[in-house]
Chains A and B, each alone.
Chain A
């Protein structure tokens, strides 16, 4: 079973490596979106610090959504989704493998770039640390929940926008706990409370989301 997950992850990484341009574009999208806010709101130091955590997190949400659209759609178009569904392993494992691959290819870069963006918003080192931690716990949740949306909207006309509409309400708790963690550090109350809540959410999502995603794949492919 582990080999199945590893195969899926290895293939996704290899495919992303072959399309490095696409991958880089997505990372630049993250940076551009985050940079828009100071231009729109103002770049005074207090403002920057106030909006920083929220802006980085919202940009991360949008960047994750951007690549989620193709999670199953590419394979569906190629005809490569059918062998995955027919493989002699539980469908939930396929969903988990895909979410894990998405996190490695799209989520990890966000975690690496975010502190740099945080510096743009004049966040102190402790806040940057909290930002990294909150993203480390939160981006897997984004991938897991996003997989459900990607499976439900497979092959539909509405495409990415519909996916965003469906999934963004479910992202709200992740956003709140993520920004709350950084905000807590900035306010002096610490990040533990929000990080533990985020951790609890991850623990809940990890077993349930792949199962829901598998059901959604079955519904969409029948």
Chain B
């Protein structure tokens, strides 16, 4: 299959259209399986009782929030190197979902922390890094929103994304460093219950579900972006005419 063929919006559009329902169904199925494992199959934790089960949402959300930022950076790099419009659209389409997962990770982190350690928010290294990641996502979306010219918006956002991705390890390291300096923050969400196999499987399945959900939603957004950007192109006009 010649992948280059799909670099053009006009060929990618119908492909995305066929993929969206498939990914959506997969995501729904996997969520069902994952939640079943998480809530019925995985054993009660020795230390934390039933409340720990929120990690089946918290951990996959946190993984996805990081992973999506990396995928965005990948598309940003491709877009800047080869000047392909579709790559920039993928980055744009992924951002809101990434921000959503970051937000979800933060809230579920809070819901986990409250019954366990009595505080709605702990300045744990991981949660604090998630918070900063949320700022990075919001910054990206704010920059895109502030620029009217689509070409400049694409490239500025991509550049910001790449600068962000280079900084993320530095930021994470500095936050971990900061956390060790201030011994007051003795609670740590990283000290999760030692993982039984089923727990790990549950989280992996949920993560996979989240990934397919992301793909489905991102592809829907890309299709909208394509229609918006290419609205003067012949094939779009033809589609409107046929409809």
Contact = CB atoms under 8 A, between A and B. Distances in A.
The answer on direct contact between A and B (beta carbons under 8 Å) is yes
Interface of A: 148, 152-153, 156-158, 162, 165-166, 168-170, 172-173, 176-177, 180, 183-184, 197, 201, 204, 208, 212, 215-216, 219-220, 222
A222 B173 CA distance: 36
Contact of A158 (B146, B160, B170): B146
B64 to A, nearest CB: 19
A216 B156 contact: yes
Q: Most chain-B CB neighbours within 10 Å: which of A183, A201, A220? A: A220
Interface stretch (B6-14, B28-36, B132-140, B216-224): B132-140
B196 to A, nearest CB: 36
B146 A162 contact: yes
Contacts of A148: 163
Nearest 3 A-B pairs (CB), nearest first?
Answer: A173-B174, A219-B155, A176-B174
Nearest to B136: A169
A185 B79 CA distance: 47
Interface of A is mostly: helix
Contact of B171 (A172, A216, A219): A172
Nearest to B163: A212
A92 to B, nearest CB: 14
Interface stretch (B175-183, B206-214, B233-241): B175-183
B44 interface: no
A157 B142 CA distance: 11
B167 A158 contact: no
Given A183-B181, A212-B159, A169 B142 contact: no
Interface string B124-157: 0000000010011011001100110001100110
A13 B159 CA distance: 30
A39 B232 CA distance: 59
10 contacts: A152-B159, A152-B160, A158-B142, A158-B146, A169-B132, A172-B132, A173-B167, A173-B174, A197-B177, A204-B170
Contact of B159 (A172, A176, A219): A219
Contacts of A215: 159
Contacts of B175: 172, 176
Interface in B172-195: 173-175, 177-178, 181
